[in-house]
A and B are shown apart, each in its own frame.
Chain A
């Protein structure tokens, strides 16, 4: 068990951010340190798992130190430890998860191995966002594109998910194809501001069918469009391609999120995950939600990307219900988010 106002140290290393945060009472962020590895992976145009794991081992102690310093506390003030247990890249996950267990055991503190997606959902519980269920959660990142009905915290019903690429993956692949650099999401977001979103009518796959997503067709369409234009010698505006691609991918998410909320009669939508930092998704979803009379909760960008605060918040919730993770539980790269 953990005191309601206890401090939890949250560790997140499931992909390419080394992140540690201190959160009080499951919602007040005292520090939130994110050491990005973008510069290490940029030459390869995507996350290299072995490089990510190596960097976590080197950087984690410094990031922990910094999180404590920023929060003006010492390890003695902590009342619980949380670390991402899965899903994610196994080599990367294991670093933060092993560290979390070591810290908890040696300081005789409760430990929670957190589901990464539950963490993203908890980003909207933090700080002034303070959202309470029931709500619809749209979690979009490099590894996930999912819609959840959240009847109460701790209980997540999957309404839809991607059948192929995650939205973030599509952003990265198209960015690489257009030679825009890495990470792809921010690059496309930035370039799109200079282009016309209606220049090219890219397909919105499965937009009228169910709540699942598919982005591989869109990706192929963009590649085909660019190749054909080049073959014909047409002067191609990359900004138009980026903006039109982004509009298509955003449209599908906005339409499905609003339809899911309507079908389930949920009056609040929360978004999370790295793609939730996309400015067009934030703007369009805000506009459409307002038109539909649905409240939209958009966490700060620093809480949308992978971070330790969301892990600390979810961990605090689990530990406050006396749901502790035993020290012999392994990290799980394919951890399931249970519906109970």
Chain B
């Protein structure tokens, strides 16, 4: 089964095609043109270069974040419409879960930590399990030092992945010595592992309903936050 993966939850945009046993194609861009501009040309180009047609795709996978809202919506709206137009399965996966999955081999606890703008980060903790990772917390959204506090409170050997520790290097300076921060090549969610995980899900027909596929916002809209302030 060929699955097109779309990951746009950070500024780093990524599109890939995977099957059960290979990575067919991959496109990644970290600066310059917007996701809205590059997404469909990249997908079209990859299919053409791999000598494939749209009708050969068996599914589409999309990273749901949490992450930056505008990019997320471009990716999610694109993926949903592709699934609808081509009448194929869709799987929505958390971008942070995918990020943890790609660094699962160390046997340590993993903390994913990604930029949420407004001086905040999204984060979650994972345990490696056979064949993957298991998220052991909810997603949180707060200033980076709250994430660092939680890392310290948990203690023990840990790997932190994501652009959060790189953006907030000063806050992360004080983490213990047995806490490692993954380098930049592992710090952004990518479409390749996303598509890989989705192939496994879609092969067992564990797909999502189109209606249920929506970004993981975690943070409420400003209007809702102001509204609650007014009410209380």
Contacts and interface: CB of A to CB of B under 8 A. Distances in A.
A164 to B, nearest CB: 24
B214 interface: yes
A287 interface: no
B45 to A, nearest CB: 10
Interface in B35-72: 36-41, 43-44, 54, 69-70
Contacts of B70: 53, 90-91, 94
B157 interface: no
A108 B70 CA distance: 26
Interface residues of B, number: 35
Contacts of A60: 77, 80-81
B138 interface: no
A58 B211 contact: yes
8 closest A-B pairs (Cβ-Cβ)? Answer: A102-B81, A99-B81, A50-B221, A48-B223, A327-B40, A98-B77, A102-B78, A61-B210
Contacts of B227: 43-44
A106 B54 contact: yes
Given A48-B221, A103-B81, A107-B85, A91 B211 contact: no
B149 interface: no
Please indicate which of the listed interface residues B43, B77, B79, B223 has the most CB atoms of chain A within 10 Å of its own CB: B77
Interface stretch (A152-160, A240-248, A288-296, A328-336): A328-336
Interface in A50-102: 50-51, 53-54, 56-58, 60-62, 64-65, 75, 90-91, 94-102
10 contacts: A51-B223, A60-B81, A98-B39, A98-B74, A102-B78, A103-B85, A106-B81, A106-B86, A326-B41, A328-B33
Contacts of A100: 81
B141 to A, nearest CB: 15
A62 B70 CA distance: 21
> Do most interface residues of chain B lie in helix, strand or loop, or is the interface mixed?
helix
Contacts of B73: 53-54, 56-57, 91, 94-95, 98
Contacts of B217: 54
A286 to B, nearest CB: 39
Given A57-B73, A103-B85, A106-B81, 18 more contacts: A44-B227, A53-B69, A54-B215, A56-B73, A56-B77, A58-B211, A61-B80, A75-B85, A94-B70, A99-B81, A102-B81, A105-B44, A106-B85, A106-B86, A108-B54, A328-B40, A330-B37, A331-B36
Interface string B205-222: 000001100110100011
Contacts of B85: 75, 102-103, 106-107
A86 to B, nearest CB: 11
Interface string B75-108: 0111111101110000000000000000000000
Interface string B141-154: 00000000000000
Contacts of A105: 40, 43-44, 54
Please indicate which of the listed interface residues B40, B210, B215 has the most CB atoms of chain A within 10 Å of its own CB: B40
B116 to A, nearest CB: 14
Given A48-B221, A50-B69, A54-B221, A330 B36 contact: yes
